[in-house]
Amino acid sequence: MTELKLGIFVPQGWRMDLADVADPVEKFETMSRCAREAEKAGFDAVWVYDHFHTVPTAELEATFECWTSMAALARDTSAIRLGQMVTCNGYRPPSLLAKMASCVDVMSHGRLILGIGAGWYQHEYEAYGYEYPDTPERLRMLRESLQVLKAMWTQEHAQFDGTYYHLRGAINEPKPVQKPHPPIWIGGGGEKVTLKLVAQYGDACNFNADIQTVRHKLEVLRQHCETAGRDYRSVLKTIELYTILGDRREVDRVVSDTARRTGQDEGFVRSWHPWAGDAEHIAEAIGEYVAAGIEYVIVNVPNAFEGGVITRFAEEVFPRLGLRSKLESS
C-alpha cells in the first residue's frame, strides 16, 4: 500500500486569504513564508490554485498567478514538491504549458507536479477574454492537451495533429528533470470522460467529495483502468480537505475572521470547511478517506497566513496518522 502523504495549499489570495495583508510585496512574502514553513514541517508538497479572480465573489483583491508563483516558490524552497490544483487547460496553449512546466521542473531540480483540469470558472474566462466552450468540448480539449504535454516532454521534435492543437516539430529544451516526465494529476470526478482520461493519461486523480462519493468514483476509475489495460494501483488517489484546526473557540474565531474577509456569512464559511475541529477529529476524518482508498491528502486551512498554523498542523495531526513531521527530528 502507498504510504499516506499530505500536501498543503499556501495562501495565494484566491480565497481572500491575503486580504488582511496590505502591501502586495508582503502578500507574496506571506505565501513564500508559508511554503518554507510547510517544507520545514515535513509536508510533501505545497499547492496553489490556477485562478485570476477571487471566490466566492470577484473582488479587487490580489490573486497571485499560478505558474509565475510556481517559478518563484521553486527558488524560495529547496526540497518540498510544487503542485497546482489544478492548472486550467483553457488559460494557456498546452505547448506553452509544457514548456513552462519543463522550466519549473529544472528550476526546482525535479520537484514539479503538473495538475490539470478542464476549467469551470466561466466568469473568469469571460472577464479575461477567453472563449468558454461547453463542457464536452472543454473535455475534448483536455484530452488533446494531455497528449500534447507528453509529446513535448518526450519527443525531440514534437508532432501532434489534433482538432484543437497542432505541433509541427516543436523543440522543448530543456526537458523536465523527472523522467519520463513530471507526474500528471487530473482533477475532477466526471465518470464518463474525466476518470477515463485519468486511466489513460494520468498519474493521479483528485476529488473534493464526501466518503461515499469518493468510494463510488474510485470504483468507476477502477473499471476504466481495467478497460484501458492500466494497473489501478499505479494511479495515485488524492483528495482536497478543507479544514480548521483548533478547539471550538479557535474554530469559531477563524470562521468569524474568514467570514469578515470574504463577505460571507458564518454558515457559508463552515460549509466550506466541514472537517473543522481538533487534531483527533481531523485525523479521524483523514483516516476514513484512507480506508476508502485515498493515498494523498491536500489540506487547506484558511488561516495559514497567520504563521505557525502549518507547523501546528504537522505537530498535532501527523503523529495521529502515523506520520513523522520533520519538526520531531529537528
With cut-offs at 50, 70 and 90, classify the pLDDT of residue 131: very high
What tens digit of pLDDT does each residue of 241-260 get? 999 999 999 999 999 999 99
pLDDT-derived band at 324 (thresholds 50, 70, 90) equals: confident
Q: What is the mean pLDDT of residues 208-212?
A: 94
pLDDT at 278 over 70: yes
H/E stretch holding 184 reads: strand 184-187
Binned at pLDDT 50, 70 and 90, residue 15 comes out as very high
Mean pLDDT of 252-281: 95
Whether residue 34 has pLDDT greater than 70: yes
Give the pLDDT confidence score for residue 329 in this predicted structure. Answer: 53
What sign for the dihedral angle of Cα 226, 227, 230, 236? negative
Task: Say yes or no to pLDDT of 330 above 70.
Answer: no
User: Residue 6: CB partners within 8 Å, gap ≥ 6?
Assistant: 43, 44, 296, 297, 298, 299, 318, 321, 323
Alpha helices in 110-210 (DSSP H): 122-127, 135-154, 194-201
Question: 133 to each of 69, 120, 126, 139, 320, how far by Cα in Å?
Answer: 27, 10, 11, 10, 45
pTM: 0.96
Residue 328, pLDDT score: 57
Integer angstrom CA distances of residue 286 from 26, 134, 156, 189: 33, 35, 43, 19
CA atoms of 257 and 263, how far apart (whole Å) = 10
pLDDT band at 231 (very low <50, low <70, confident <90, very high): very high
- Which domains does the chain possess? 5-329 (3.20.20.30)
The predicted-structure confidence for 72-119, as pLDDT tens digits, reads as follows 999 999 999 999 999 999 999 999 999 999 999 999 999 999 999 999
Q: How far apart are the first and last CA of the chain?
A: 28
Burial bucket for residue 117 (CB in 10 Å: 0-12, 13-18, 19+): buried
Q: What is the pLDDT of residue 325?
A: 65
Q: Provide mean pLDDT across the span 129-149.
A: 98
User: Rounded to an integer, what distance in angstroms lies between the CA atom of residue 20 and that of residue 99?
Assistant: 35
| pLDDT above 60 (res 1) | no
Residues 22-41, mean pLDDT to the nearest whole number: 98
pLDDT at 327 over 70: no
pLDDT digits (tens, 9 = 90+) for 106-122: 999 999 999 999 999 99
From CA 146, how far away is CA 149, in angstroms rounded?
5
Measure the CA–CA gap between 294 and 177, rounded to whole angstroms: 27
List, for residues 52-62, the tens digit of each pLDDT value: 999 999 999 99
Q: 225-239, 254-268, 316-330 — which is least confidently predicted?
A: 316-330
Q: Is the omega angle on the peptide bond into residue 183 within 30 degrees of 0, that is, cis?
A: no
pLDDT at 326 over 80: no
Q: E strand or H helix at 267, and its extent?
A: helix 266-272
What is the average per-residue pLDDT within 293-309?
97
Q: Which helix (H) or strand (E) holds 299?
A: strand 296-300
The sheet with strand 45-48 has its strands ordered as 81-84, 45-48, 5-9, 296-300, 236-242, 204-207, 184-187, 114-117, 87-88
